[in-house]
Amino acid sequence: MSSSRSHRKNTSTLGTPAVSAANQTVKNPNLKKNEPKSDNEPPKTLVSMEPDFYDPRGACHMIYWTDCIAQMAVDIRERQNAANQSDFDFMKPKLVEYVFTVCVRLRLPNEVRFTAALILNSFMLRHLCSLHDFMERQEMSIQRKKREWENLESNMERQIPLRILTAIQISSKFHSYHDSLSSRQVVNTLRKIGLPYTISAVLESEQRVFKLIGFKMPDSPLDACEMALKVLTFTMKKRGMIDEEKYNDLWQHTLIVLDVCFINHIELYERFIRKCPAICRTEERLNISKFKWDIQLLAAATVQTAYILLLGTSQIANVSVIINNLLRCDNAYVEPLKQSIIELACAKKNESIPECSTSS
Amino acid sequence: MWGKITSHIGVWFGLEEAERPMRASCSLSMIHHPQLTAVRSSKSSENLHRITTMSPQRIQDVDGSPSTRKPSSSIFTLRRSRNKEKKYKNNGGGGSTKSPISKNGTNEMTQSWHSNHVNGASSGSGSGSTPEHHNKNIFSFLSRQSRSRSNNPSETMSTVPLNKNSPSMPPPPSSNTVADFTHLRRRRPRSAHYDPNTITLPAKEEVTPQDVNDLYKRIDKLGEGSYATVYKCESKLDGSIVALKEIKLQFQEGLPFTAIREASLLRNLRHANIVSLHDIFYQHHQLTFVFEYMKMDLSKYLEQNVYGLDSIDIKLLLFQLLRGLDFCHRKKILHRDLKPQNLLLDEDGVLKLADFGLARAKSVPSRTYSHEVVTLWYRPPDVLMGSTDYSTSLDMWGVGCIFAEICTGAALFPGSKDSHYPGTKDQLDMIFSIRGTPDEKKWPEVKTLPGYTPELFPRYRELSFIAVNPMFTKILKTGQELLGMLLQLRPESRVSAASAMLHPYFASFPREVHLLAPSQSIFRLKELKDLRSL
């Protein structure tokens, strides 16, 4: 996040969500830990939440790069094999956007919002399934079951803000100790939006969500993007392809593109599937679900799109080869996904122009 | 049924179906409640809003319809505390509610930051959205009437049969618009005072979760830390011995981040040299991890061998440590707390990495992480000097320290915080006295470390390990060479776990040891099985 917390280097001021929210949000109380207490006290090392793609220090050892990518590919394959057409049913645009907005307002690190959205989706699916199974087992009339199901739906719906905050809380704790949300902070945040939950309720919700997602954290496409950008930067540096200051810009563009992809993923993959006539249409929803699990494909398309947006298409052929080889992605799928992202972004831009003109 | 449910639920968030906006929920949509106003605090340190409520009179003006409550015949009854219930009754169910609605009617939380950036990202212009954007904000989808509580035909597209057949439905609301405050006022307090996680079933149908105490019998307390207590337990089902780690939950903090990381990381780490997490129980506000039981840890074993271990045991243990660590590093996981206490041993001489409470997933590019990791004696010099952009080399220094410790029986760098040097200086002094003071030519980056103060230390020269302790002769020259590669001051020069396993020190091991599946122990190979003397 290129927020004011990124102290180590002057990052670009390109429009990431954090930049836009910087004036509207206040400090995460945890950040006080990093601030000097007085003028006399020397400032402690401030923690930047931005990855450094240029400096080889602190990067994962090169001999592990291919292993990490291979491991991710194996995980993707496993998830694709177990994919269900309903796997992303709760990743609705506005729900994702809400999660993102809360994360940005709380000035949480970039990776938190993506993981939080995936946690929420996973939880809601499993929660719904478990409740449905429970209802199925009840010995009562259909009419009564329907009535009870309505109650359940109402309860679930009422709890959505709590679940959103809980998903963000778990994600924040996984990614960053310093920026993690405590139960007290979640209670305070919920109170600010008019939902006075007790701290016990928040604690119980955290345990419940964590349990229902199987105590596992979903893999984030941002992780794959970071991986791709690191290797791309390394290769471009070796070949002298672009100058140094572009790395951070590329990262900021990648974040924006990934935000767009995440929020509009339903529309994005519908466009994508239309561009890939070879994909079997008999089980379209299942196939889309499988493609959605392929975070390396999404990362490849995202980084390449970001590159085009920032630096144009002059070098994109070389960049595509580097990234596709690295992430083992078939260009026959990357290219349509890339085009879909660009079309989607253009469509969204056109959609919003009348609004802006109306407002002015 | 599934499709119906998902479409049903999907409608709640359903953006594809813009013509069927979501009902005015008492939860998210509450923030649109016109009886509430929120004032952005100009210099507030809080992150959201300062909120004011309207007067009760205005609330009454807005809410004209009588309160309707569902009969309690449902099997799903919601729990409400007595105090809250009294309060609810006293307030007539219409108590004040807080919500971050701005004066102009838009909700700050609902204003999308994203459209701005998608549309004008490269301009880097200011934040926030236009009031008009509010029409498309993320809460607009909440503005549909309740399916479950409304008989309005225009709203019951997918659930008409349900509502028609429901004998307990409340009377239809007076309005089918978003601003139907009757719904909000009637339902908001319920949302506020019910425990959201509770679905209480009648006694007859009550399903009690499986209690960990019903499954395991505690035999002994193995240890207690600041965030967990570990017990040796026997399974009541099959008599197997396990280790139960009971996580202490902090009321204000919720689940410890250590528990979240340990659980999620260990779920992905199935390896013969990493302790297995069999199960996780959560009940009675407590989280319990069920681990495989190991006979002892390496520190206890070293207590029985004060002059260090046999050379073959050293080699076998070191290889297993590297093997487990290599598996973690391949999955981008840093252990960050390697020490003899966290290396467990069983009767067969199998070593397993344990305690992933401080572990974290590492990104491929460098990122900054906390430098307050790893027990002082096993912390590398770069981290002691404040480096935050460490990588797998962090763990490799710990491996070197442990390697030396199992050779001699004593810690190689037993620094103290209470010495005449402040902070970590004594630990650094210990390290430099053996490994030499950092040479800025060989390690130029050292100058950028915040804690690098060469003037505090005498000018040390690097010592040979034999000069430090004659016990190092038992690992021969190749062993000392490997130890030197592990204990490099410059993190980038430190050998990786994968490379260390290929070092000539392990030349006596059969080649097949590198071809074993992750879940296979090295003692699966007969040559190694015959070697062990533990």
Chain B residues lying within 8 Å of A85, measured CB to CB: none
A154 to chain B, minimum CA–CA distance in Å? Answer: 7
Q: What is the pLDDT of residue A54?
A: 67
Cβ separation of A101 and B110 shorter than 8 Å? yes
Q: Are residues B281 and B352 in the same domain?
A: no
Digit-coded pLDDT (tens) for A231-246: 888 787 777 766 556 7
Indicate whether B474 belongs to any domain. yes
CATH number of the domain bearing residue B521: 1.10.510.10
- pLDDT score of B372: 63
Give the pLDDT of residue A176. Answer: 80
pLDDT of residue B310: 92
**Nearest Cβ partner for B112 among A101, A192, A215:** A101
Cβ contacts (< 8 Å) between A150 and chain B: which residues?
Answer: 147-148, 159, 162-163, 166
CB contact burial B380-414 (16+ within 10 A = b; e otherwise):
bbbbbbebbbbbbbbbbbbbbbbbbbbbbbebbbe
- What is the average pLDDT score of chain B? 68
Hey, are the CB atoms on A64 and B28 less than 8 Å from each other? no
Q: Give how far Cα B182 sits from Cα of A191, B67, B156, B185, B431, Å.
A: 21, 8, 18, 5, 72
Nearest-CA distance A290 → chain B (Å): 18
In chain B, which residue's Cα lies nearest the Cα of A220?
A: B363
pLDDT tens readout for residues B456-509? 889 999 999 999 999 999 999 999 999 999 999 999 999 999 999 999 999 999
Name every chain B residue with its beta carbon within 8 A of the beta carbon of A233.
365
pLDDT of residue B118: 35
Asked if B125's CB is within 8 angstroms of A153's CB, the reply is no
Å from B220 to nearest chain A CA? 27
Task: Look at residue B51 in the predicted model and tell me its pLDDT.
Answer: 30
Query: Does the pLDDT of residue A29 top 50, yes or no?
Result: no
Q: Is the pLDDT at B161 greater than 80, yes or no?
A: no
Res B428: pLDDT: 92
ipTM over 0.85? The verdict is: no
Q: Average pLDDT of A20-34?
A: 37
> How far apart, in whole angstroms, are the C-alpha atoms of residue A18 and residue A13?
10
pLDDT of residue A354: 53
**Residue A186, phi then psi, degrees to nearest 5:** -65, -45
Residue bearing the bigger pLDDT, B157 or B437: B437
Query: Residue B223 pLDDT > 90, yes or no?
Result: no
Nearest to B75 among A45, A148, A266 (CB): A148
Work out the minimum CA distance from A237 to partner chain B, whole angstroms: 14
Residue B341: what pLDDT?
Answer: 93
Q: pLDDT tens digit string along A74-85? A: 889 999 999 888
Identify whether residues B12 and B27 lie together within a single domain. Answer: yes
Q: In terms of domains, do B280 and B162 share one?
A: no
End-to-end CA distance of chain A: 30
| Shared domain check, B125 and B75 | yes
B227 close to B357: Cβ distance less than 8 angstroms: yes
Do the Cβ atoms of A17 and B123 come within 8 Å?
no
Collapsing DSSP states into helix, strand and coil, what is residue A326? helix
Reported confidence tier of residue B321, pLDDT bands at 50, 70, 90: very high
A95 neighbourhood in chain B, CB within 8 Å: 13, 138
Which of B2, B49, B366 has its CB closest to that of A58? B366
Q: What is the mean pLDDT of residues A21-40?
A: 39
pTM: 0.69
The verdict on whether B337 is a catalytic residue reads yes
The verdict on residue B157 lying in a domain is: yes
Lowest mean pLDDT among A89-98, B267-276, B280-289, B293-302: B280-289
pLDDT tens digits along B35-70:
333 322 333 233 333 333 333 444 344 343 333 444
Average pLDDT over residues B230-259: 88
Whether pLDDT at A349 is above 80 = no
Are A132 and B1 a contacting pair at CB < 8 A?
yes
Q: What is the pLDDT of residue B422?
A: 58
**What pLDDT, on a 0 to 100 scale, did the predictor assign at position B370?**
64
Predicted local distance difference test score (pLDDT) of residue B507? 94
**CATH code of the domain containing B226:** 3.30.200.20
Does residue B209 form part of some domain?
Answer: no
- The pLDDT of residue A59 is 67
Q: Please, which residues bridge with residue B241 across strands?
A: B234
Chain B neighbors of A162, CB-CB under 8 A? 196
Same-domain status, B276 and B300: no
B248 marked ligand binding residue: no
The number of beta carbons lying within 10 Å of the beta carbon of residue A314 is 9
- Inter-chain residue contact A203 with B249, CB threshold 8 Å: yes
Interface contact flag, B496 A192, Cβ < 8 Å: no
| DSSP H helices in B212-310 | 212-215, 257-266, 298-304
Identify the DSSP state of A115: H
Residues B318 and B280 in one domain: no
> Is there a contact between B197 and A205 if contact means CB atoms under 8 Å apart?
yes
Structural Rg of chain A based on CA atoms = 22
Of B215, B316, B324, B211, the closest CA to residue B271 belongs to B324
Last residue of a domain, one of B258, B293, B328: B293
Give the nearest partner residue to B46 out of A21, A26, A178, using CB atoms: A26
Residue A150, min C-alpha distance to chain B (Å): 6
Averaged pLDDT for residues A265-277: 88
**Which domain-ending residue is among B179, B200, B232?**
B179
State pLDDT tens for residues B62-118: 343 333 444 444 444 344 444 444 444 454 444 333 443 344 444 444 344 443 433
Cα distance from A312 to chain B (closest Cα, Å)?
13
Is residue B324 in a domain? yes
**In terms of CA atoms, which chain A residue is nearest residue B169?**
A147
Cβ contact B76–A157 (<8 Å):
no
Top mean-pLDDT range of A14-18, B74-78, B371-375: B371-375
Which candidate in B63, B337, B395, B429 is catalytic?
A: B337
The dihedral sign for the CA sequence B522, B523, B524, B527: positive
pLDDT band at B420 (very low <50, low <70, confident <90, very high): low
pLDDT 10s digits, B5-32: 334 333 433 333 333 333 333 333 333 3
Residues of chain A neighbouring B263 (CB-CB closer than 8 A) = 210, 215
pLDDT digits (tens, 9 = 90+) for A78-110: 999 998 888 888 888 989 999 999 999 888 989
A193 or B174: whose pLDDT is higher? A193
Selecting from B12, B132, B332 the residue whose C-beta is nearest the C-beta of A359 gives B132
What is the rounded average pLDDT for all residues in chain A? 79
> Do B381 and B310 belong to one domain?
yes
Task: Give the pLDDT mean for B390-416.
Answer: 92
To test the contact with chain B by mutation, choose from A23, A154, A248 the residue with the greatest count of B C-beta atoms within 10 A, namely A154
The pLDDT, as a whole number, for residue B421 is: 54
Read off the pLDDT of each residue in A295-299 and give the average, rounded to a whole number: 93
The per-residue pLDDT for A310 is 87
pLDDT of residue B466: 93
Q: How confident is the model at residue B533 (pLDDT cuts 50, 70, 90)?
A: low
For residue B235, is it within any domain? Answer: yes
Task: Using a pLDDT cut of 90, give the percent of chain B over it.
Answer: 35
CATH numbers and ranges of domains, chain A: 94-213 (1.10.472), 221-347 (no CATH)
Query: Does any domain span residue B191?
Result: no
Domain end among B278, B293, B308: B293
A contacts of B204 (beta carbons < 8 Å): none
- The Cα–Cα gap between A156 and B163 comes to 18
Query: Is A106 within 8 Å of B165 when comparing Cβ atoms?
Result: no
How many structural domains are present in chain B? 3
- Same domain (yes/no): B379, B433: yes
C-alpha distance from A128 to closest chain B C-alpha (Å): 8
Residues B95 and B240 in one domain: no
pLDDT confidence of residue B487: 96
Q: Provide the pLDDT for residue B219.
A: 92
Chosen from A9, A14, A26, A61 to mutate, greatest number of chain B CBs within 10 A: A61
Does B430 have pLDDT greater than 80? yes
pLDDT exceeds cutoff 60 at B209: no
Amino acid at B492: E
Report the alpha-carbon distance of residue B117 to residue B129 in Å, rounded: 10
Token code pair at residue A160: 């959505």
Domain annotation covers residue B189: no
Range of the domain at B477: 296-529
User: What is the DSSP secondary structure assignment for residue B254, as one 8-state letter?
Assistant: B
Query: What mean pLDDT is predicted for residues B339-356?
Result: 93
Contact yes or no for A104/A179 (Cβ under 8 A): no
pLDDT in tens, A113-140: 999 999 999 999 999 999 999 988 888 8
Indicate the residue of A65, A143, A198 with minimum beta-carbon distance to B165.
A143
Q: Which residue has the higher pLDDT, B194 or B263?
A: B263
Put simply, the answer to whether B109 touches A193 (Cβ < 8 Å) is yes
**Same domain assignment for residues B389 and B348:** yes
Mutate to test the interface with A, among B40, B41, B106, B113 (most CBs of A within 10 A): B113
Note whether B407 and B427 are same-domain residues.
yes
Q: Do A57 and B124 touch (CB under 8 A)?
A: no
Q: Which of A68, A92, A158 sits opposite B25 (nearest CB)?
A: A158
Is B509 part of a structural domain of the chain? yes
B369 pLDDT exceeds 60? yes
Q: Which residues in chain B have Cβ-Cβ distances shorter than 8 Å to A256?
A: 117-118, 121
Tell me B177's DSSP state: S
Query: Same structural domain for residues B357 and B444?
Result: yes
